[in-house]
């Protein structure tokens, strides 16, 4: 039997399967599903646990031996089998089929696998797992659904935020659910229950180094040359990686181009900020900057960023930090 993640809790309340197989490409959700099954097993008297991690050195006869061995103390047990590669091979496939035909008594077997493609799901060993127990397929959370997912996780700890703030959060974790989970838990420690502001989430989600890079970006587009120079020198002194600085500044320039082109075509600001993936206070800052910048100069800034990228990669000559300094000064010249 195959189920979805959201069906697991209700299924566990109704019945206990002798075999659970979890597979997918989302580590956090796999870990959580496995924890839920293990907790259910312990609550039902399965107190002993045996872990088998299968790699290319694994002797598959050990699986069958472990399955046939009885607990030393007669306790119910959990067999926790992990196959990180998701490819047991011919010998392993046959061992899994044999194991499924005669599941060990007083045992809940939990098998964890990575993403299995359609060809893998059509193999005899995988079908044996599906026929003998419950198979849980874990689907990745698509970026379009990530803000909603974060909101649901915040609600569990009785916190909430508006959609734009959640979208900003989603953009910063870039689809990494483990990173999102860590940041959500951090918010529970930093702030009380209730509504979280954009500033609270921004300060929590962006670490100090990344936040400094964003301050550098703000100084660039607001033409604050002195502040830009001061932050850039500080980042250089801390040994901050130039590629990360360049990536942030280049993204900012591209956002400005999107806004500037849209304003020239008469498109509504709200639509443009959404297209440029701008959230919270940065919307006003970037739109204001875009109004006094023209496309020609923004294109020149983007070309200079491309030149810096070549210097970083060693295919062009130049001083990286001096070029980054000139890139920021270009915006001060534009405004004045």
**Using one digit for the tens of pLDDT, what is the confidence trace for 191-204?**
999 999 998 888 77
Calculate mean pLDDT across residues 110-125: 93
Q: Give the HSE-up count for residue 78: Cα atoms under 13 Å, Cβ half-sphere.
A: 24
| Helix ranges, the chain (H) | 8-14, 27-43, 61-68, 89-101, 118-121, 124-132, 143-156, 163-173, 177-190, 198-205, 208-221, 225-237, 242-264, 269-275, 282-292, 295-313, 320-335
CATH 1.20.272.10 spans which residues of the chain? 208-335
Question: Comparing C-alpha atoms, which of 166, 206, 170 is closest to residue 186?
Answer: 206
Instruction: Give me the architecture of the 208-335 domain, per CATH.
Output: Up-down Bundle (1.20)
Report the 10 Å Cβ neighbour count for 155: 10
Q: How far is CA 196 from CA 10, 202, 283, in A?
A: 31, 10, 19
pLDDT in tens, 224-256: 888 888 889 888 887 888 998 998 899 899 999
| Residue 115 backbone dihedrals phi, psi, to 5 degrees | -65, 130
CATH 1.10.8.60 spans which residues of the chain? 143-205
With residue 272 as reference, give the H or E element that holds it: helix 269-275
* Confidence at residue 292, expressed as pLDDT on a 0 to 100 scale: 84
Rounded to the nearest 5 percent, the helix, strand and coil shares of the chain are 65, 10, 25
Calculate mean pLDDT across residues 119-128: 95
Specify the higher pLDDT residue, 194 or 334: 194
Does the pLDDT of residue 125 top 50, yes or no? yes
* Confidence at residue 153, expressed as pLDDT on a 0 to 100 scale: 95
Does the pLDDT of residue 336 top 70, yes or no? no
CATH 3.40.50.300 spans which residues of the chain? 2-138
Calculate mean pLDDT across residues 35-58: 91
What's the angle, vertex CA 129, arms to CA 128 and CA 133, rounded to 5? 115
pTM of the model: 0.60
Residue 57 pLDDT level (bands cut at 50, 70, 90)? confident
Calculate mean pLDDT across residues 275-304: 84
Class of the CATH-defined domain 143-205: mainly alpha
- In the block, tokens 């206990």 appear at 16
CATH code for the domain defined by 2-138: 3.40.50.300
Does the pLDDT of residue 333 top 70, yes or no? no
Beta bridge partners, 111, equal 21, 81
């Amino acid at each position: 039997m195959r189920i979805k993640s959201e069906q697991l809790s209700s299924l566990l309340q109704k019945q206990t399967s002798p075999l659970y197989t979890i597979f997918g490409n989302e580590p956090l959700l796999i870990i959580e599903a496995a924890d839920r099954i293990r907790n259910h097993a312990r609550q039902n008297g399965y107190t002993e646990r045996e872990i088998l991690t299968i790699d290319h050195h694994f002797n598959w006869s050990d699986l069958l031996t472990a399955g046939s061995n009885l607990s030393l103390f007669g306790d119910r047990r959990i067999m926790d089998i992990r196959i990180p590669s998701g490819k047991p091979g011919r010998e392993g496939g046959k061992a899994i089929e044999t194991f499924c035909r005669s599941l060990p008594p007083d045992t809940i077997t939990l098998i964890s696998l990575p993403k299995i493609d359609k060809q893998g799901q059509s193999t005899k060993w995988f079908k044996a797992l599906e026929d003998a127990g419950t198979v849980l397929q874990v689907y990745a959370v698509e970026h379009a659904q990530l803000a909603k997912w974060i909101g649901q996780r915040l609600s569990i700890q009785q916190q909430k935020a508006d959609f734009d703030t959640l979208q900003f959060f989603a953009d910063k974790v870039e689809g990494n659910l483990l990173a999102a989970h860590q940041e959500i838990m951090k918010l529970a420690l930093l702030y009380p229950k209730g509504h979280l502001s954009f500033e609270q989430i921004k300060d929590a989600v962006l670490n100090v180094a990344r936040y400094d890079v964003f301050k550098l970006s703000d100084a660039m587009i607001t033409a604050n040359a002195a502040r830009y120079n001061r932050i850039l020198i500080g980042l250089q002194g801390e040994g901050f990686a130039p590629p990360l600085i360049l990536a942030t500044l280049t993204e900012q320039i591209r956002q400005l181009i999107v806004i500037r082109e849209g304003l020239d075509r008469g498109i509504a600001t709200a639509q443009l900020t959404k297209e440029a993936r701008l959230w919270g206070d940065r919307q006003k800052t970037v739109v204001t900057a875009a109004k006094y910048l023209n496309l020609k100069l923004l294109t020149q800034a983007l070309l200079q960023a491309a030149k810096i990228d070549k210097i970083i990669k060693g295919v062009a000559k130049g001083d990286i930090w001096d070029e980054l300094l000139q890139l920021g000064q270009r915006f001060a010249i534009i405004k004045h």
